[in-house]
């Protein structure tokens, strides 16, 4: 089944004016594709252009050139397109004296909802984020994880088809992170497209299906996370049983706890070391692929290694 494109940008460029005759190229011909129902993480170091891209997609600023589409409609074309997008800002803060319910009522009214429709929507979003039972408790009694869930609830009030989450797990403890991660999975399972902006690469690695990495305004790589990680190195760790002597040729074994381990690069070297060990009658205890992490991938693309 061909998935529909939820977000598409075509050579999106943004130049900010920065004082007398100066300008900053914040986005340089960025073309991204985000498909319906996927969890897409937009990554990049500080100043890479992530916020600028997000602001253009939210219709808050205009690009200098290029185009952006949400479900095929040009961004900024009409307000109906804009409410197709829900947004959880970084550092979501609300009045701690209000209850979860009255917070959503207040924010819902600000976005033009009212009466029975608003009441129904509040009940639906509270249930989606698992806060129905505490809806009449003041926010000041909430954990940070619960406040983030309330933030996601407000972003869902207008029945968006796309959710932008800016650093959703920032400042949360491991349990709070698990809560938010599970909620993100649940929303995506029900068809929501999620655009995630986060510096916590280990978190991103656990949730994202696809990623795009921006560096100095350029998209340096985009693709399915599994494919990108699998396409990286094929290094292995070979562990042998028992003791070894000093006569291990080119193979550099290191002692780790009670085992001897050698790291080898590539499948050819793996075969070579296996032959070598067989000839020396040394038994192999384990061979493990060394997994490339998203952090390794990120560093590679940002440093251009
Ligand atoms: P961070 O991770 O630090 O939030 P970012 O990837 O979101 O960074 P942007 O905030 O989009 O990056 O900034 C991209 C570049 O554009 C930076 O060089 C920044 O200084 C510049 N910039 C952003 N907003 C403006 C503005 N309003 N006026 C001038 N320059 C700006």
**Spatial separation of the C-alpha atoms in residues 279 and 291, rounded to whole Å:** 28
- Work out the pLDDT band at 80, boundaries 50, 70, 90: low
- 221 C-beta closer than 6 A to ligand 1: no
Q: What is the pLDDT of residue 246?
A: 78
Average pLDDT for residues 25-50, to the nearest whole number? 95
**Spatial separation of the C-alpha atoms in residues 119 and 287, rounded to whole Å:** 58
Kind and range of the H or E run holding 222: strand 218-224
pLDDT exceeds 80 at position 17 = yes
| CB-based burial label for 27 (10 Å; 0-12, 13-18, 19+) | buried
Average pLDDT for residues 177-190, to the nearest whole number? 92
- Work out the pLDDT band at 205, boundaries 50, 70, 90: very high
The whole model's pTM is what? 0.84
- Work out the pLDDT band at 119, boundaries 50, 70, 90: very high
Q: Which atom of ligand 1 is nearest to the CA of 49?
A: 11
Find, among 4, 66, 13, the residue nearest to 38 by Cα. Answer: 4
pLDDT exceeds 90 at position 21 = no
**Spatial separation of the C-alpha atoms in residues 99 and 142, rounded to whole Å:** 10
- Work out the pLDDT band at 276, boundaries 50, 70, 90: very high
Q: Whose CA is nearest to atom 3 of ligand 1?
A: 46
- Whether 200 contacts 45, CB under 8 Å: no
Q: Which of 12, 13, 15, 16 to mutate to test the pocket of ligand 1 (most atoms within 8 A of CB)?
A: 16
Q: Whose CA is nearest to atom 27 of ligand 1?
A: 16
- 46 C-beta closer than 6 A to ligand 1: yes
CB contact set of 39 (below 8 Å; sequence gap of 6+): 184, 185, 188, 194, 196, 207, 208, 209, 210
Residue corresponding to tokens 């040394």: 282
Q: What is the pLDDT of residue 124?
A: 93
Taken in order 18, 89, 95, 141, the sign of the CA dihedral is: negative
Average pLDDT for residues 16-37, to the nearest whole number? 92
pLDDT exceeds 90 at position 82 = no
Q: What is the pLDDT of residue 211?
A: 97
Residue corresponding to tokens 């009212």: 114
DSSP string across 109-137: HHTT--HHHHHHHHHHHHHHTT-GGGTTS
Q: Which atom of ligand 1 is nearest to the CA of 52?
A: 11
CB contact set of 277 (below 8 Å; sequence gap of 6+): 238, 240, 283, 284
Q: What is the pLDDT of residue 204?
A: 94
Q: What is the mean pLDDT of the chain?
A: 90
Q: How far is the CA of 290 from the centre of ligand 1 (A)?
A: 36
Q: How far is the CA of 48 from the centre of ligand 1 (A)?
A: 7
Among left, alpha and beta (phi > 0; psi -120 to 50; other), residue 140 is alpha
- 50 C-beta closer than 6 A to ligand 1: yes
Q: Which of 18, 22, 26 to mutate to test the pocket of ligand 1 (most atoms within 8 A of CB)?
A: 26
Per-residue pLDDT of 137-181, as tens digits, reads: 999 999 888 999 999 999 999 889 999 999 898 888 888 889 899
Q: Whose CA is nearest to atom 24 of ligand 1?
A: 52
Q: How far are the Cα atoms of 6, 74, 167 from residue 162, in angstroms, in the given order?
A: 8, 15, 16
Find, among 63, 93, 91, 70, the residue nearest to 8 by Cα. Answer: 70
- Work out the pLDDT band at 78, boundaries 50, 70, 90: low
Residue corresponding to tokens 């529909």: 4
- 32-51 residues labelled b (16+ CB within 10 A) or e (exposed): bbbbebbbbbbbbeeebbbb
Helix (H, G, I), strand (E, B) or coil at 226: helix
The percentage of the chain sitting over the pLDDT mark of 90, rounded to a whole number, equals: 63
**Spatial separation of the C-alpha atoms in residues 180 and 49, rounded to whole Å:** 25
Per-residue pLDDT of 232-244, as tens digits, reads: 667 899 999 877 8
pLDDT exceeds 60 at position 230 = yes
Q: How far is the CA of 26 from the centre of ligand 1 (A)?
A: 6
**Spatial separation of the C-alpha atoms in residues 40 and 164, rounded to whole Å:** 10
């Amino acid at each position: 089944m061909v998935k529909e494109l939820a977000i598409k940008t075509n050579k999106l460029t943004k130049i900010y004016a920065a004082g007398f005759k100066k300008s900053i190229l914040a986005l340089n011909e960025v073309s991204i594709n985000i498909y319906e129902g996927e969890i897409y993480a937009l990554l990049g170091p500080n100043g890479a252009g992530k916020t600028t891209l997000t602001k253009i997609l939210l219709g808050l600023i205009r690009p200098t050139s290029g185009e952006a589409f949400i479900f095929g409609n040009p961004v900024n074309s009409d307000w109906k397109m804009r409410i197709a997008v829900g947004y959880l800002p970084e550092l979501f803060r609300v009045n701690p004296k209000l209850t979860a319910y009255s917070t959503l009522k207040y924010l819902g009214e600000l976005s033009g909802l009212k009466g029975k429709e608003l009441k129904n929507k509040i009940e639906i979003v509270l249930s989606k984020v698992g806060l129905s039972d505490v809806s009449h408790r003041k926010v000041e009694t909430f954990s940070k994880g619960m406040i983030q869930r309330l933030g996601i609830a407000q972003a869902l009030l207008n029945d968006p088809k796309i959710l932008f989450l800016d650093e959703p797990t920032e400042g949360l403890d491991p349990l709070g992170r698990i809560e938010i991660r599970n909620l993100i999975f649940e929303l995506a399972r029900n068809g929501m497209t999620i655009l995630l902006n986060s510096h916590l690469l280990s978190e991103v690695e656990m949730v994202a299906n696809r990623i795009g990495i921006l560096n100095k305004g350029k998209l340096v790589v985009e693709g399915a996370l599994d494919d990108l990680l699998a396409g990286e190195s094929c290094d292995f760790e070979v562990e042998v049983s028992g003791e070894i002597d000093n006569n291990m040729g080119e193979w550099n074994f290191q002692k780790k706890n009670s085992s001897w381990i050698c790291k080898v690069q590539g499948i050819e070297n793996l075969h070579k070391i296996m032959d070598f060990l067989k000839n020396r009658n040394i038994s192999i205890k384990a061979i493990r692929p060394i997994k490339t992490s998203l952090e390794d991938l990120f560093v590679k693309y940002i440093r251009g290694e």
